[in-house]
Amino acid sequence: MQQNKSDVWVGMFVLIGVLALVFLALQSANLLSLNFEKTYTVTARFDNIGGLKPKAAVKSAGVVVGRVEGITFNDQTFQADVQLSMQTRYAFPKDSSLKILTSGLLGDQYIGIEAGASEENLKNGDRLTSTQSAVVLENLIGQFLYGRAEQGGADSADSNAGATK
């Protein structure tokens, strides 16, 4: 009987350990966010969201003030509509602006919010119009290489013109 009792306790301890590891894995991957604070939802439209994902942070001055609730594609404007769930304890003016930023050089993307100067604050259902899309690293590299190729072509054309004179 004593052996059976200790087996139950060891089994419960192992089960709690496994559940704790699963919880930490989900929390670190941003797949689980336990938030019991009241929120309000606002929407913003971006030309390009890059690698932004649902549950990504919304930060102001480095502090998490909300989360990305959902992302949809608007097939009439060909833009992405991003729904943000903002904590009610943080009030932002209606003319605040949003940027999609990256944590580090190749890290996760998040939304940065800069407060505006309006007297009215955002409320549930509002739409933010001042947005700046994500900087896509591949596009920057392509622009750099294309600019270099174009510049290189102009340099060789100049040297060829000088050689024929």
Residue type, 80: A
- Contact at 8 Å (CB) between 37 and 88? yes
> Model pTM greater than 0.75?
no
- Contact at 8 Å (CB) between 81 and 45? yes
List pLDDT tens digits, range 119-145.
998 889 889 888 888 777 777 788 888
Task: Report the pLDDT value the prediction gives residue 92, as an integer from 0 to 100.
Answer: 92
List pLDDT tens digits, range 77-98.
999 999 999 999 999 999 999 9
Task: Report the pLDDT value the prediction gives residue 103, as an integer from 0 to 100.
Answer: 83
Query: 3-state DSSP call for residue 83?
Result: strand
